[in-house]
């Protein structure tokens, strides 16, 4: 199993996603002799998972059933253990596009955090690219290394435990892109410039507060970055539901015809829609936005090394 290479069969040691519904799923490490409890009953790894194909429908001990899915960066973002606040697919998608990432790209990231963006970056630059990710917190860095190893992507990522604002990324003039998600990104702009390739490298900084954005933009201009722009991605979810509306009473057809000067005996007016219109209700599908939803996540500031 690998997050960047699809496998057909569930193997001992794999990370799989137990899917109970769109709002209910969780990751599980497949191990021989282990069981997993769900609201539908027990899943026995040895008999119910190992050797089965990903996507299989598994019946639990109480008679209910679940699907076992192959892990992807998108599913991992929805189910990973939170060590820090994470980036979600809405921001991740625009980051990978605006940084112009592709297979073979070299990317520097700080900080690693819970690894949500890291897995998406690794999948994007695989199989020949590489991610250099820096995490200030030692325990989080060690946990990230462990997860990358379990997910079969350790050959595509290098995890470093250090302060990027003081010590940089540990590489020079090789990165196609740099991503910053730290409290004071303006202090790391100089190191980001050093890590980027000689010309044309892209940088992105994620900050929740506009004051952070202002200081970061000033630092980017000071270090000679061009095409500096900031954007915010807002996700608005709609519920599709059936609603009923009353048909308006437009009056009798004869009265309408006389008031407008039409001859009711005129055969061209026979069968008019107004003649057969009766007051009642009509049902139709409508999209309605949620009353409460996640709005602001953060500001994304992009720039290009001149």
Are 54 and 81 in a shared domain?
no
> Which range among 48-57, 207-216, 267-276 shows the weakest confidence by mean pLDDT?
267-276
CA pair distance 236, 157, nearest whole angstrom = 34
| Domain co-membership, 109 together with 184 | yes
The arithmetic mean of pLDDT across residues 195-213, rounded, is 96
Asked if 160 and 134 touch (Cβ cutoff 8 Å), the reply is yes
Query: If DSSP codes are grouped into helix, strand and coil, which group holds residue 5?
Result: coil
The pLDDT confidence band at residue 264, using thresholds 50, 70 and 90, is very low
Closest CA to 250 of 271, 277, 226, 289: 277
> Is 112's pLDDT higher than 70?
yes
Average confidence (pLDDT) over 255-282: 53
Q: Specify the 3-state DSSP secondary structure of 250.
A: coil
Q: Is 88 found in the same domain as 64?
A: no
Instruction: State whether 54 and 132 are in the same domain.
Output: no
Mean pLDDT of 48-77: 95
In a domain, 192, yes or no: yes
**pLDDT tens figures, 167-192:** 999 999 999 999 999 999 999 999 99
| Mean pLDDT taken over the chain | 90
Asked if residue 160 and residue 32 are part of one domain, the reply reads no
| Same-domain check for residues 79 and 159 | yes
CATH of the domain at 201: 3.40.50.150
**pLDDT > 90: what percent of the chain?**
75
Answer yes or no: is 23 a known binding residue. Answer: no
Q: 62 with 193, same domain?
A: no
> Could you tell me if residue 80 is inside a domain?
yes
Domain annotation covers residue 41: yes
* Other residues' Cβ atoms within 10 Å of the Cβ of residue 99: 21
Q: Label residue 148 by pLDDT band (50, 70, 90).
A: very high
CATH of the domain at 25: 3.10.330.20
Per residue in 247-259, pLDDT (tens digit) is 877 776 545 555 5
- Token pair of 137, please? 């917190």
In a domain, 4, yes or no: no
Does 133 map to a domain? yes
Is 117 annotated in a binding site? The answer is yes
Considering only CA atoms, which of 173, 73, 71 is closest in space to residue 121?
A: 73
* Structural domain boundaries enclosing 164: 75-232+299-305
In a domain, 258, yes or no: no
**Over 50: is that where the pLDDT of 302 sits?**
yes
Instruction: Spell 146-178 as b/e; 16+ CB within 10 A means b.
Output: ebbeebbbeebbbbbbbebbeebbebeeebbbb
Position 199 scores a pLDDT of 87
Domain boundary among 53, 71, 89: 71
Among 54, 71, 88, the domain boundary falls at 71
Q: Is residue 3 part of a domain?
A: no
Predicted pLDDT of residue 274: 46
Specify whether 152 is located in the same domain as 111: yes
Same domain, 92 and 112: yes
Give pLDDT, residue 279: 56
Q: Are residues 216 and 112 in the same domain?
A: yes
Check whether 64 is labelled as a binding-site residue. Answer: no
pLDDT band per the 50, 70, 90 thresholds, residue 147 = very high
Q: Is residue 278 part of a domain?
A: no
pLDDT at 260: 52
Q: Could you tell me if 225 and 98 lie in one domain?
A: yes
**Residue 105 marked ligand-binding:** no
Find, among 95, 214, 112, 252, the residue nearest to 169 by Cα.
112
On whether 176 is known to bind a ligand per the annotation, the reply is: no
> Structurally, how many domains does the chain consist of?
2
DSSP 1: -
Q: Is 239 exposed, middle or buried (0-12, 13-18, 19+ CB in 10 A)?
A: exposed
Domain boundary residue among 24, 41, 71? 71
């Amino acid at each position: 199993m690998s997050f960047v290479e699809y496998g057909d069969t569930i193997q001992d040691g794999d990370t799989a996603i137990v899917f109970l519904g769109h709002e209910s799923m969780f990751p599980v490490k497949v191990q021989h002799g282990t069981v997993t409890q769900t609201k539908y009953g027990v899943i026995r790894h040895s008999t119910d998972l190992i050797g089965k194909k990903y996507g299989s429908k598994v019946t639990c001990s109480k008679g209910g059933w679940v699907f076992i899915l192959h892990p992807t960066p998108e599913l991992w973002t929805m189910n990973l253990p939170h060590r820090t606040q994470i980036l979600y697919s809405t921001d991740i998608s625009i980051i990978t596009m605006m940084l112009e990432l592709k297979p073979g790209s070299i990317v520097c990231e700080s900080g690693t955090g819970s690894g949500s963006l890291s897995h998406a970056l690794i999948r994007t630059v695989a199989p020949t690219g590489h991610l250099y990710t820096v995490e200030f917190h030692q325990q989080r860095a060690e946990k990230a290394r462990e997860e990358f190893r379990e997910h079969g992507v350790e050959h595509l990522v290098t995890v470093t435990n250090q302060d990027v604002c003081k010590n940089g990324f540990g590489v020079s003039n090789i990165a196609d892109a740099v991503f910053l998600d730290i409290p004071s990104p303006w202090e790391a702009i100089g190191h980001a410039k050093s890590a980027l390739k000689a010309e044309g490298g892209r940088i992105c900084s994620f900050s929740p507060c506009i004051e952070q954005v202002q200081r970061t933009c000033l630092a980017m201009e000071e270090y000679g970055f061009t095409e500096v722009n900031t954007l915010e991605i807002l996700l608005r979810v709609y519920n599709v539901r059936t609603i009923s509306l009353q048909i308006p009473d437009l009056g009798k057809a004869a009265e309408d015809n006389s008031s407008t000067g039409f001859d009711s005996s005129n055969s061209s007016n026979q069968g008019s829609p107004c003649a057969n219109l009766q007051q009642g209700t009509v049902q139709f599908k409508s999209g309605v936005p949620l009353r409460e939803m996640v709005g602001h996540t953060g500001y994304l500031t992009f720039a290009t090394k001149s």
